[in-house]
Structure 1
Amino acid sequence: MKKLDVLRVEPPNWWVGFKETSLQLLVHYQDISERKLDVFYPGVTIKNIHYADSPNYLFIDLHISKSTKAGHFNLVFKKEHTPDLVFNYTLKSRITHSKDYIGFNSTDAIYLITPDRFSNGNPSIDINEALNEKNVDRNDNYARHGGDIKGIINQLDYINNLGFTAIWLTPLLTNNMYHGSYHGYAITDFYQIDPRFGTLNDYLMLSIETTKRGMKLIMDQVANHCGLEHWWLKDFPFKNWINHQDNYVRNRTNWNETKSITTTHRRTTNQDDYASNFDKKGMSEGWFVSVMPDLNHRNPFMAKYTIQNSIWWIETANLRGIRQDTYSYPDKGFMSLWAGAIMNEYPNFSIVGEEWTNNPLLIAYWQHGNPNKDGYLSNLKSPMDFAMQETVVNSLNNQEGYDSGLIELYEALANDFAYTKPSDIMVFPDNHDMSRIFTRLNGDIAFTKMAVSFLALIPRVLQIFYGTEILMQDFENPGDHGLVRSDFPGGWKGDQVNAFTGKGLNENQVNMQGFVKKLLNFRKHSKAIHYGKTVHFVPENGVYVLFRILDNETVIHIMNKNQGETKLYLAKFNEIGLQGRAVKNIITSYTFFWGDNITLQEKGCFIFSTKL
């Protein structure tokens, strides 16, 4: 191994005023374990120094007292007959109090963006010669396309005007991989913004500009794995830093030959009373894919590193939420500690965890407060509702029965009794890992509007993938990740179609964009949708009616799968108390009085409100 000439200290800085007064520094330098450390700063004391298996690491436990002032001090590493190594460390003052980090909730509509595919605001950084993947090719679905942080900043007004209140970006941290680095999930440096997206200052400016517009910034983080080119893997601190580390060392010249690793992607082993230890280990220790080594959080130094990294980003970028990738894949005991440490420091923060399951029982298991049989306490506020997403698609595509398949949707919402707090769960019509909703509904615009509006009105946190508002699709190769994450039209200079301005959009796209804008801007100000009681009626004759009610505001959502005009008799809904009241169609602004019946002119969704 070549001589290490960079003194790396992580976290690279910290703050005074946390509830947690301990800080563990990872220090990496050639034979650093042969040196002694001196620290002289009021309120900062060395509690312990841990030696790793590699002589090039130290793990240093510092105590930062409650009275410690912000400032700078030197970490001085001494060795006889050798010049001192000095790292100037900064303790910062906290800008925002812990309680004021207000996370996302059911009032929010979140815009999910794959940054490389959204907007190129700074073409000069598209290629970085210091990184392994150097090509930019917009004709290759798996190459980098050049979208960046500046491009997102440029389009924040577009996102805000659509009615979104938060943005979630897929990972922006350095992915120094040779291929497919655009998606961000193979992180090779957990403290660095990928220079092809911009700088840390760019990210901080994004946070500032988002906050200016009353919006929230959510960071996509990955605790389960890293990228195969992470600098750790060239010099492991411990013999158990990653899972199946022996296999990696043995096969590192040809990692595709790692079939000896047992990987079980049966996430039910986390709850299964009957699961074998063999299968449980295969789930929590198996690699997600062969180019993403699985991090071993049973190693306490890895666990501490991951927790501190999340807190560092929250504090640095004024985050209002974290989306945690592959939530159920790591050791579930660690994930409880990780989420608990964050929520203890930031009691009003929000974390959403990805658990891709169509089983509501499994979704409920991961939500904080669920009375789990095994006593597991997740500390996770918001699981993701893949079950509802799948049911929406299946229900709308199902044309059989007197209810035309809508009973599936009714029954799915009826499952909310199983959840501790349904309104904290995140629901979505599609995301970056699946075929777009317009594709899955076979290009049916009416069904696409029905799906989006239903998910926007039920008691949930709402997330919508960029481009859903203009009917982006992947008919050419459904489900292909590179195609699903296609470029947003108008994000690149010279694009013939510009969805940000409307130039070149067809009539259907303009109509859908307008629909989403009216829906979300109404939702933004509707307390009945945010906090109201939900009442729905068993679907019949291809019509499903749902109400959200709070005080004097009632919102009505009607899904009609019938072709042509359909007369809906309203006596069935008398318990809601709308007789004689004026209601307005929030999309068309047409106002009428709730009487004996209404005529639904066509297949589709109809959204009414007593808020005129």
Structure 2
Amino acid sequence: MRIIIATIFICLQLSSYAQVDRIEPLNWWVGMNNPNVQLLFYGNNISNKSVSVDYPGVEILEQHRVENPNYIFLDLKIASDAKPGKVSLVFKEQGKKDFVRPYELKARDESKRKLQGVDASDFIYLIMPDRFANGDPSNDRIKGMADQTFDRDSMYYRHGGDLQGIINHLDYLEELGVTALWLNPVLTNDQPKTSYHGYANTESYFVDPRFGGNEAYRKLIDECHKRGIKMVQDLVHNHFGTEHYTVKDMPMKDWVHQWDSFTKTNYREQVHMDPYAAKADKDIMVNGWFDRHMPDMNQHNPFVKNYITQSHIWWIEEMGIDGFRLDTYAYNDLDFMAEWGKAIDAEYPKMTYFGETWVHGIPNQAYFTKADKINQGIDTKLQGVTDFQAYWAINEALNGKFGWMDGVVRLYNTFASDFMYEDPYRNVVFLDNHDLSRFLSVVGEDFKKYKSGIAWLLTTRGIPQLYYGTEILMKNFASPDGLVREDFPGGWPKDKVNKFTATGRSERENEAFNYVKTLANYRKNNPVLHHGKMLQFIPEDGVYVYFRYDNQKRVMVVMNSKQENIKLNAKRFQEGIGSSTKAMNVVTGASLDHIQEIDVPAVSTQVFELK
């Protein structure tokens, strides 16, 4: 009898709750810097109802009924002295029985306000979760989800990698010297096909169950934090997936940008800074859809702006995110991005974020960063960017022929333009990522060039980022993208080899792994390579020399792009060498008793700690 009564009670509760299918944000907190929060209620004809609340310190400012009767937006103000607890939201409609929906206000975790962010002291490791490791085969397919594909032989289907798989290999990442993880988006992507990459989210508050859901994400972040590894969350402001419930049943027509016929963005970032740009071109760039399954969010709509911004604050406070990577930054409305930056900074002054700026030209890239240093006319608040200009420069340095503006000179010239940024040390430098051909293939599988690039990555200014598998010489060209998103060998129980272990790697792969590991851990333990000043010399005859230095230490980096060994006369570099007379090769540990002449092998970057 007790079981029957309990079941009836639960059913009655669910029946009443069913009149509100969703409330987002899922919960909120007392003591936020901004006392206001806008709740979204979604349910069949819910706008016929009025909402009231009777909870000390919680006040309804306004109830918004919009075009779609299935939505209500409710503005709440939470007093600074409000207590954590369950707020009873009472839904009333004339002639119908009232029903109550509880909404939780939590106490803030003070440690979240003290987060350190991700900065130049870090070494970021980028993982595509579906392709790294499968730690829980039970979630490979989830009943009821649109994409039921599962085939590791297809680059377009899901492969089963998940967050537990990453947890299982944190020892590997810690050994490598990783201090921060950047995961491609983990939010639910319930799209009918090609849903594995994560960039068309259909939920804003839920991690994809095929990755393990919110609890697996929380567990991963907690395990990372125990090891001193930070978490960078990949955010997509610009677009949702077509299967997001707010897109399938939009609150109002202008929730997304509407066109008479499908209009894709023109991918031309120049219209942002072009003083002669046609308005029509800028409209297509900013308001055109990124792709047919990625509708462009209308960031002029105040409800859209609140919905996006609050969800990002929620993830920081709920999960303890340490930093954000902002996808497709140039396609956003920059006024909104400035508002977003102010909102994040107000709640979390030490929070860091960097934007993907796949653009062409140093001024174009600097244009999107904060402080209005180059007459942008707007302060976007964007702290740093994915430094594509440095990416193209290192490729030219390794593959190009030395000349007045070519070869290693491209690197020198790129960093000579750092005056355009408020803080270039916040830029993220990289050799490849999930959208680019793998670095080993780009340098023609030349192992000497590979090592030279790694040495540059881990000694130059900025925040270094390594793409999963680069350390074990994974290769391929991004034609199509799936070829650079292959599974990490050993991440699946039936894999024939396990490259997470030294015994599973070839001799050359172990050499590559140990090379990255040595430099990454040296960097980790030597602040001079975090925030130390940089001094560079104009390249001569294919040789580029730069220094990183502070009051405690000096590091000298010599990049020889020539096909022959050289004997470098160090007299020209006395300004960087200072009073030092000896040096240690950081990679080999070998001592140099005299540094006036340094032997530098062909096609190599040598890193010396000066003594």
TM-score bracket, shorter-length normalisation? over 0.9
Letter paired with 2:414: A
Question: Where do residues 413-562 of structure 1 align in structure 2 (5 Å cutoff)?
Answer: 413-475=415-477, 478-562=478-562
SS of structure 1 residue aligned to 2:242? coil
- Counterpart residue type for residue 444 of structure 1: D
Partner Cα separation in structure 1 for residue 522 and residue 391 of structure 2: 22
Per-residue CA deviation, residues 518-572 of structure 1 (Å, 9 max, x unaligned), is 0100001112111212112222232211111111311111111233432111111
Structure-2 residue corresponding to 1:392: 394
Q: CA deviation at 1:342?
A: 0.4
Give the C-alpha shift of residue 319 in structure 1: 0.6
Check conservation: 2:490, 2:499, Cα contact below 8 A.
Answer: yes
- Give the Cα separation in 1 of the matches to 2:77 and 2:406: 64
What residue in structure 1 maps to residue 194 of structure 2?
180
| Corresponding residue of 1:255 | none
What's the CA shift string for 1:159-196, capped at 9, x where partnerless? 11111110010011111111100000011111111110
| Maintained 8 Å contact 1:435/1:480 | no
Encode CA deviations 1:358-401: one digit per residue, 9 max, x unaligned.
31112212221232424201111111110110111122111344
The counterpart of 2:64, out of the listed 50, 62, 69, is 50
1:197-346 equivalent positions in 2, closer than 5 A: 197-244=211-258, 247=260, 258-259=261-262, 261=263, 263-346=265-348
Are residues 355 and 580 of structure 1, via their aligned partners in 2, closer, same or farther at CA, if it must alter by over 3 Å?
Answer: closer
Q: Which amino acid aligns with 2:269?
A: R
Inter-CA distance 21–97: structure 2 relative to 1 (3 Å threshold) = farther
TM-score if structure 2 supplies the norm length?
0.94
- Return closer, same or farther for 1:171/1:377 CA change in 2, 3 Å cut-off: same
User: What CA distance in whole angstroms lies between the structure 1 residues aligned with 2:504 and 2:577?
Assistant: 46
* CA deviation string 1:95-137 (max 9, x = no partner): 1256412111111110010000001000000001110111210
Indicate conservation of the 8 Å contact 1:545/1:556, yes or no. yes
Paired AA for residue 582 in structure 1: K
**CA-atom RMSD, angstroms?**
1.8
- Name the CA distance, whole Å, in 1 between partners of 2:464 and 2:212: 28
**Which whole-Å CA distance do the structure 2 matches of 1:390 and 1:125 have between them?**
39
8 A Cα contact 2:19 2:46, kept in partner: no
Q: Cα distance, 1:596 vs. partner?
A: 2.5
Q: CA deviation at 1:23?
A: 0.6
Tell me the residue number matched to 1:144. Answer: 158
Any idea what SS the aligned residue of 1:358 has? coil
Given that residues 389 and 427 in structure 1 are in contact (C-alpha distance below 8 angstroms), is that contact kept between their aligned partners in structure 2? yes
What SS does the aligned partner of 1:12 have?
A: coil
* Alignment-derived partner of residue 89 in structure 1: 103
The separation in 2 between residues aligned to 1:580 and 1:301, in whole angstroms, is 60
Tell me if 1:75 matches 2:84.
Answer: no
% identical aligned pairs:
40
2:170 pairs with one of 114, 133, 156? 156
1-side partners of 2:480 and 2:454: how far apart? 22
Q: How many residues are aligned here?
A: 595
* Residue of structure 1 in register with 2:3 after alignment: none
Partner SS state of residue 286, structure 2: helix
Unaligned residue ranges in structure 2 (runs of 5+):
1-17
Native 8 Å contact 1:240 1:296 kept in 2: yes
Distance 2:28 2:488 in 1: 37
- Quote how far apart the aligned CAs of 1:500 are: 1.1
Q: Deviations along 1:218-261, whole A, 9 cap, x unmatched? A: 100111001111112332111111001x65xxxxxxxxxx44x2
**How far, CA to CA, are the matches of 1:595 and 1:319 in structure 2?**
45
Look up the match of 1:11: 25
Look up the match of 1:34. 48
In structure 1, list runs of 5 or more residues that go unmatched. 248-257
Measure the CA separation in 1 of the matches of 2:20 and 2:560.
Answer: 64
CA distance in 2, matches of 1:42, 1:23: 16
Distance apart, 1:480 and its partner CA: 2.1
Q: Is residue 242–residue 248 contact of structure 2 (8 Å, CA) maintained in 1?
A: no
Q: 1:110 aligns with which of 124, 132, 143?
A: 124
Q: Hey, what's the Cα distance between the residues in 2 that align with 1:64 and 1:486?
A: 48
Q: What is the aligned partner in structure 1 of residue 7 from structure 2? A: none
Distance 1:12 1:403 in 2: 54
Note closer, same or farther for the CA distance 1:5–1:65 as it changes in structure 2 (3 Å cut): closer
